[in-house]
Amino acid sequence: MLLLLVLCAGLAMLAVLGLGVVWKLYRMPASSMAPTLDAGALVMVDRLAYVRAPVARGDVVVFTPPHASGQVWAKRVIGLPGDRIAFHGDVLSINGLPVQYDDLGPVVPGSDIRRLTERLPGRTHTVLETRDAAGPGGQGEWTVPLGRYFVMGDNRDNSDDSRFWSPETFLPHENVLGRAVRAWNPCAAPRCDDGSEPTLLGEHIQ
């Protein structure tokens, strides 16, 4: 019995240490990553993810923005070093190839905000697009410098991201705190606005 208690205590201590060293929780300040992460979402970050493997296109990374010291943001990696990124009329292209989209319809009936499935190379996830926006912002073409990443929010018409930064302030690798792996989006129990049920273990981040 004593051995079992010692074992349980040891496992609990390892879990606490792991939460501080390997994983860390961050609260998201805004909705730029909706519908993946809502404003106020609690996100678990794997701080050693990029020790084990390189940053991959489609990853949701948590970082300190180069132009907003003291803050912690989350965005999706769209462009890797050397990539050519273009964004015209809400259509994203990577190295000359347009990204494919599937229209999932409005968030709620009659809404101008629509859900789209975005098919990045090797990764599929959902983004939001506002159809009545006065012309999508952040139009242009960019080449990602070495040691930096081009990041965008999934809430495409409501995100301060690399489209609006100069290449010199694209996300530096050293500013990346880790990869977002699970999220607890704030919602009223027992069901969220989309009808889903909040889970104790959170949701895996696509």
Q: For the segment 16-55, what is each residue's pLDDT rounded down to a tens digit?
A: 444 556 899 999 999 999 999 999 999 999 999 999 999 9
Q: Is 32 a catalytic residue?
A: yes
Catalytic residue among 31, 32, 159, 162: 32
- Asked if pLDDT for residue 14 goes beyond 70, the answer is no
Task: Count other Cβ atoms within 10 Å, centred on residue 100.
Answer: 12
84 versus 112: the higher-pLDDT residue is 84
| 75 closest CA partner among 143, 29, 134 | 29
Supply the pLDDT for residue 121: 86
Which range, 7-21, 84-98, 180-194, has the best average confidence (pLDDT)? 84-98
CATH superfamily for 21-204 is: Umud Fragment, subunit A (2.10.109.10)
Mean residue pLDDT of the chain comes to 84
Query: How far does Cα 6 stand from its chain's mean position?
Result: 39
The domain spans of the chain are 21-204
Q: Where are the alpha helices (DSSP H) in the chain?
A: 2-21, 49-52
Q: Look at residue 168 and tell me whether its pLDDT is greater than 90.
A: no
Q: What is the pLDDT of residue 89?
A: 81
Of 75, 159, 162, 196, the catalytic one is 75
- What confidence score (pLDDT) does residue 200 get? 65
0.85 cut: is pTM over it? no
